[in-house]
Amino acid sequence: MPTPDSGNSTGNDPKSSSPGPHKSRSEKGPGSHVIWYILIVAALALTAHMWFLKQTPTVDLTAGEFEKGLEEGKFTDKNVFKLTIGQNFITFQSQPDGEKPAGDEKAEPVKKYSVPLVGSSDIDRARLKELITKNKIVPAYDRPPSEVLSFMGLLGLPILRLALFFFI
């Protein structure tokens, strides 16, 4: 005769027949998800690495080499495109974006150049700008730095602390 305490009239325990407690997925601790976090970060790092490998390398020129090339006609409006004068660098490329060669010619890869201006005086910069305009190259100028990065820097450390506090 079943006891009045049990709601099961057959006397069989409705729980699992194997001994020992079993935890469901929701009862496992946050440590079980660490492997997934590691795999996601590794996949993102691999994607970023592959993307950087696809980028064309930049040829570094000194300010003197660039100035000499402008004076000798090596750098003109025919082979200097997207010239940008920034606070620390002058950057340009050898071909316009998306230009296809005529006929069956194989297109040369686009070469990107970088000229560091760190430590250059205003007189040197003015001389380079004069040579650039003399060679009929249309310069562009860098945008001011974004405020988003400084804002992210201010919020980054507190958010990281909160994440570590709650997940560890």
- How does pLDDT run across 66-112, given as a tens digit for each residue? 899 989 988 888 888 888 888 888 888 888 877 665 555 666 778 88
The b/e string for 66-104 (b: 16+ C-beta within 10 A; e otherwise) is bbebbeeeebeeeebbbbebeeebbbbbbbeeeeeeeee
CA distance 46 to 58: 22
Tell me if 139 sits within 8 A of 133, measured CB to CB: yes
Residue type, 58: T
Residue type, 70: L
Q: What angle do CA 155, 42, 57 make, to 5 degrees?
A: 85
pTM: 0.53
Residue 152's pLDDT is what? Answer: 73
CA distance 34 to 23: 18
Q: What are the tokens at 119?
A: 């430590």
Class of domain 57-100+107-168: alpha beta
Sign for the CA dihedral angle at 49, 55, 56, 57 comes to negative
Spatial CA neighbour of 30 closest among 165, 157, 161:
165
CA distance 48 to 143: 25
- How does pLDDT run across 121-145, given as a tens digit for each residue? 888 888 889 999 898 888 888 877 7
Largest CA distance in the chain: 109
Domain segments of the chain as ranges: 57-100+107-168
Q: What Rg, from alpha-carbon coordinates, does the chain have?
A: 32
